[in-house]
Structure 1
Amino acid sequence: MIDINWEVSNKNLNKEKLNFFSFKSNISKKIYLCLVISFIQIIFLHCLNDNKLVSNTEFKIIKTKGKINFGEPLTEDNIVVSSEKIEDISNFIQKNNNLNFFLGKKTAIDLDENNYIFNANIQTKDKNSIPEKIPYGKRLFVLELELGAIAKSLRTGDKVDIIANLDIPGFGKATEVILQNIQLIGLEEKNKYYRSRYNSSNSISFYLTPEEIKIILFMKRYANFSLALRNPNDNFDSKDQAVTLNKFIENEKIKNIIKNDRFQIIYGDKK
């Protein structure tokens, strides 16, 4: 009869099982570690490819062809749209590739050759600014007055007559149309409270000659002004400008008052 040592056999069997599960656990750990490493490599390669794509991408930007001095207008002769590889996209976003936006504008600083053109490099005032719209021999004049109900009917570009209700010492009272058929260049309403009272005033702007401004400022001391709105088709004068002051100004008493008032225009130095 064979005597089997079951205790020893059971121990050997348990040891084999432990070795098997230990081997299986090690394989799982290695597989997991390989997956993690592979995932990290994929992310790294993806980022590397993105950086290469950005560095190899060409963007259209505006640059100077040569040196441009301060105040010099930008034209197709001194600026150009260039295609370049830009590594820093955030820096490119600040640039402008619209050539038509810059053409005709004047530079605000000196620019060297191959400089990028930024919005900050150009002057905000372009060739259509108000001073350059003023006709030669004229001045843009602003007159403050209370318009009342007619203010609601006025618009920039309307034609009006300016009426003065005068009370001049040494002459007396008079009502005169001092300017006819003038075009309003600007119109502004100013509302304010003073000692619990509501006051509304307006300012109108239009083009006048220096002599007309001189007379208007003189009359402003002795007159209240009113406006009369004209039909835009009622142009008795073909000139779209202020008509000279009427014969009232030619009165000898008025001439003496103006002369004795010592009002004069002081011209600046001619350059």
Structure 2
Amino acid sequence: MQVPRYAHGSRVPGWDDPVDLTKDPAPIPDPATTPVPDDLRAQIEAAMAKYPDRRSAVLPALFAAQRLHGWCSPEAIDQVACVMRLTPGYLTAVATFYDMLDTKPVGRHRVYVCTNISCSLNGADELYERLHDAVGDDDPDINLRHFECLGACDIAPMASVDGVYVGPIELDEVDELIADVRGGRPPLERKQLRYRPYAESLPMDSGARDQAAGMPHAATADASLPPAPTSYGAEMAAPDRRVGDPDRSSGGTTQGRDAPGPTAPIEQAPEQFDEREDPA
């Protein structure tokens, strides 16, 4: 299957906007002429208070500004720069490096479809195409995009919907997912990662919760599966027994059984030093 890629070879847009070297560098904004919303200022100052170097708070500060403005607009950058006493150029360099910070207007709902290897092998490319058909090219409220890896291979194919991990998503669930996003409802709540396999927040018993999450309930688990080991038992009580050594109790060997291995050198007690043996 042909994977859609940009002209530079990647499945993600990349950094294609050159720097305008003809512009003078912007100074640190003047607090007297740069109004900053009180709530945003409080969030930025709280983040700065956590670090000895205020520049360590740049990411949470930019995310706070993005939540307020919808994207890291020039106004948002100036407000963060004013509070943190940094140049807008410094903050713009950070914002353009991290692709979860938007330097252009995007839809307020972020739907990121993982298209890395595990998800791709499980149908993520078809999932993205189906979502794209459902959303369209001109929906101003939904920011749909590929994502190189979201680190949730166990629920492939999956997507992050406004930071909520959802999966595995079937193709026939796409319309329901988009309807949830547009309606302001939790997206495919039964498929959310936080409810797999246990969740304390759902008001239901464990069997119903497992069923909602698509997990087998303990009462209906396959009885043919071998029981999980509970302890090493006698093997742990015999420190001189090794895999392949004779089993004194049965006349056989412990080959293939759980038994402790040899003690690592770092765990062995150091040899006692006898001053009488000192050649000096």
Q: TM-score, normalised by structure 1?
A: 0.25
Structure holding more strand per residue: 1
Larger-Rg structure = 1
Q: TM-score, normalised by structure 2?
A: 0.24
